[in-house]
Chains A and B, each alone.
Chain A
Amino acid sequence: MALLPTRRRRSRADDGKPRSRPDEPAAPRRRPPIVELRDATVVYPGGHVALERVSFGIERGDFVFVVGPTGCGKSTLIRTLIGEVKAASGEVLIAGHDVDRLPKRRIPHLRRRIGTVFQDFKLLPNRTVYDNVAYTLKVTGERRSEIRRKVPEILRLVGLQGKVHNYPDQLSGGEQQRVAIARAFVNHPPLLLADEPTGNLDPETSIGIMQLLYRINRTGTTVLVVTHDREMVDKMRRRVLALDEGRLVRDQVTSTYHEESTSEFGVRVRAEMGVGEGHTNGEPAASPPRS
């Protein structure tokens, strides 16, 4: 794929086994941010402005939250990134390529390199867990032997090895979301977008899902999580983009780390992340705040 050549070769080579950050220390040649918006404005037919002059960049391997109230443009942001909605002005760049200027027939190839997870899971109800995950690979023309190898592997990663032949309606919400994440990540895309992944789940299950997303992030995949739950995000000490009525109103790393260290949620997720006072896995705590 012309889109993200270096990343693709790498993910092919090590077959998606969890790995530490690939380009540490700094790569000799500076690569463009995996996601970059420059003054992007999205207007829906009818004149509703969903995003207004939004600019930000996300580096490879980052874990970023996007927060804001309902209708602030979070979902539009995701739809813009996967080429479903075109920006009226400004630029939307994925790995340096302008999504809006991508020929229509290249859009599917862009989407193969971006995993997407949604609040409502979007699983196929009449297929088993295995088939739901294998579906992605079939659609992208993966060989059968590869499918047989990759699907059980990814299901083990998300902890569903015992539910391979169940149908989605036999699973709990959290398990269904794990299937959705497995489906999004089975190709080992360099970018994973999650639109309210815990929106339908209880707090306990949400922790599990967030831990899973962190684990995926640790393999080198950039993760962008959209949520309306600002409070939860504030406890995470990660970069947070806040949208309000289509405008970017905040872009910073939450600095309330010490205050919330007693929160169970924060403690457990951070434990999974390996983020602690003295974490040494080479991972930067977060991207530097942008102003």
Chain B
Amino acid sequence: MGRMFFFIAEAFRALRRSASPSLAAIVTVVMTTLLLGVFIPVIKASSTTTENVQSQLALYVYMYPDATKKQALGAQKEIDKIRHVQRTELVTPEQGLARLKENIGKSEIGEGITQLKGKNPLPYAVVVHPDNANSLPAIQSSITPKAKNGKAKPISPAIEEVNSGQKTANAIRTVTNAVKVMLTVIAVLLLIVSLLLIANTIRLSIYARRREVEVMRLVGATNWFIRWPFVIEGLIVGLTGAAIAVGMLLVGKLTIIDPLAENFALIEDFHTVGFLPLIIVLLGASIIVSMLGSGIVLRRFLRV
């Protein structure tokens, strides 16, 4: 126990003495942790959205805006004939608008609907419920079979497009994947930078304390006795940075995300990581990074 105090005291003494590199390392760790703290929920949220969309069990067949009710009913009849279709449901533009209002609720966007002033931009639509979620792709290709020229040709001329969860999911997934790759690359780069800066701090510390290390060896300190203060120094840098970042994230969550989530249906629907697991992950990452940073340098520069 007394030893631990000795190590910690030595680490703080070293940090005080090399304040500017330590500060640089801490600031980098803050940046990295902060960005990770934003990236992780964003990536997670976009992934869950993709999953949600995929799991929706219906196909929305939209008519051209100028299609009449008769044409729409004709298209519905055609769709009813397709295998695996359990039931279909015609949604008139009026019903569509009502549903939209219901979904959006009394938020500001909902208020915006009144600005349409009686005009209804929505077309007729047919909601197709399959007997089984797995048959969705088959039904979709039956509604828009491929013509000989390779273009999709709907079974009824009134049909403009078929909006399946699949399609939306694919679109979202493409975007998310790109974002994910970018964010991951940035996060990894930042982690490497943090690691190197922590390593550099420790290296400077070792240089500054060459004499101390020499004396320690002369008077018979064991190798780990010499190493521990440096490891703890790296750990202090990493944890201080992470703690500052977590504090900033907490402030951000309380002042920006939470009020928004109350007002916005959009954000409320996102399922993302909880704040506590996020903090644990961030602190864990900073501990690992600082340990690695110190470890690499000690192995390289502290021949004991």
Q: B-contacting residues of A (Cβ < 8 Å)?
A: 82, 105, 108-113, 116, 122, 124-126, 135-136, 138-141, 143-144, 183-184
Instruction: Indicate if the CB atoms of A144 and B219 lie closer than 8 Å.
Output: no
B1-42 interface bits toward A, Cβ cutoff 8 Å, 1 = contact, 0 = none: 011001000000000010000000000000000000000000
Given A138-B6, A141-B3, A144-B2, do A105 and B215 touch, yes or no (CB 8 Å)?
Answer: no
Whether a CB of chain A sits under 8 angstroms from the CB of B77 is no
Whether A108 contacts B221 by the Cβ 8 Å rule is: yes
Given the known interface contacts A122-B211, A124-B212, the answer about A111 and B218 at a Cβ–Cβ threshold of 8 Å is yes
Contact between A108 and B212, CB atoms less than 8 A apart = no
- B3 — which chain A residues lie within 8 A by C-beta? 141
| A126 contact set on B, CB distance < 8 A | 17
List 4 other contacts, CB 8 Å, given A111-B219, A122-B211, A183-B219: A108-B217, A111-B220, A112-B219, A139-B216
A-B contact pairs, 6 of them (CB 8 A): A111-B219, A112-B220, A116-B218, A136-B219, A140-B221, A141-B3
Tell whether A139 pairs with B2 under 8 Å between CB atoms, given A124-B211, A124-B212. no
Query: Which residues of chain B come closer than 8 Å to A136, judged between CB atoms?
Result: 219
Number of interface residues of B (CB under 8 A): 17
User: In the assembled complex, how far is the CB of residue A225 from the closest CB belonging to chain B, in whole angstroms?
Assistant: 17
User: Residues of B contacting A141 with CB < 8 Å?
Assistant: 3
Interface residues of B (CB under 8 A from A): 2-3, 6, 17, 211-212, 214-223, 225
* A139 interface neighbour in B17, B211, B214, B219, Cβ under 8 Å: B219
Assembled-state Cα–Cα distance A228/B10 (Å): 37
A144–B211 CA distance with the chains assembled, in angstroms: 24
Could you tell me if A109 and B214 are in contact, using CB atoms closer than 8 angstroms?
A: no
User: How far is the CB of B9 from the nearest CB of chain A, in Å?
Assistant: 10
Residues of A contacting B219 in the complex (Cβ-Cβ under 8 angstroms) = 111-112, 135-136, 139-140, 183-184
In this complex, the member of B216, B218, B222, B225 whose beta carbon has the largest number of chain A beta carbons within 10 angstroms is B218
Task: Find chain A residues with CB under 8 A from B214 CB.
Answer: 122
In the complex, which residues of chain A have a beta carbon less than 8 angstroms from the beta carbon of B223?
105, 108
In the complex, the chain B residue whose C-beta lies closest to that of A143 is B2
Q: How far is the CA of A143 from the CA of B225 in the complex (A)?
A: 16
Closest to A141 in B: B3
The smallest beta-carbon distance between A81 and chain B, in angstroms, is 12
Min Cβ gap A149→B in Å is 16
User: Which residues does chain B contribute within 8 Å of A108, judged by CB atoms?
Assistant: 217, 220-223, 225
What's the minimum C-beta distance from A105 to chain B, rounded to whole angstroms?
A: 7
Complex Cα distance, B6 from A100, in Å, reads 31
- By a CB distance below 8 angstroms, the chain B residues around A140 are 219-221
A113 partner residues in chain B, CB cutoff 8 A = 220
Instruction: Give the docked Cα–Cα distance between A122 and B213 (Å).
Output: 11
Residues of B within 8 A of A124 (CB): 211-212, 215
By the criterion CB–CB under 8 Å, are A135 and B215 in contact?
yes
Return B15 CB to nearest CB of chain A, in Å. Answer: 14
Contact status A111-B212, CB under 8 Å: no
Given contacts A138-B6, A144-B2, contact A122 B220 (CB under 8 A): no
Min CB–CB distance A113 → chain B (angstroms): 8
Q: In the complex, are the beta carbons of A139 and B212 less than 8 A apart?
A: no
Within the complex, the shortest CB–CB distance from A78 to chain B, in Å, comes to 11
Residues of A within 8 A of B222 (CB): 105, 108
- For residue B302, give the distance in angstroms from its CB to the closest CB of chain A: 14
| A109 adjacent to B220 (CB under 8 Å) | yes
Residues of A within 8 A of B218 (CB): 82, 111, 116, 122
| Interfacial chain A residues near B221, Cβ < 8 Å | 108, 139-140
- C-alpha spacing A135/B212, complex, angstroms: 10
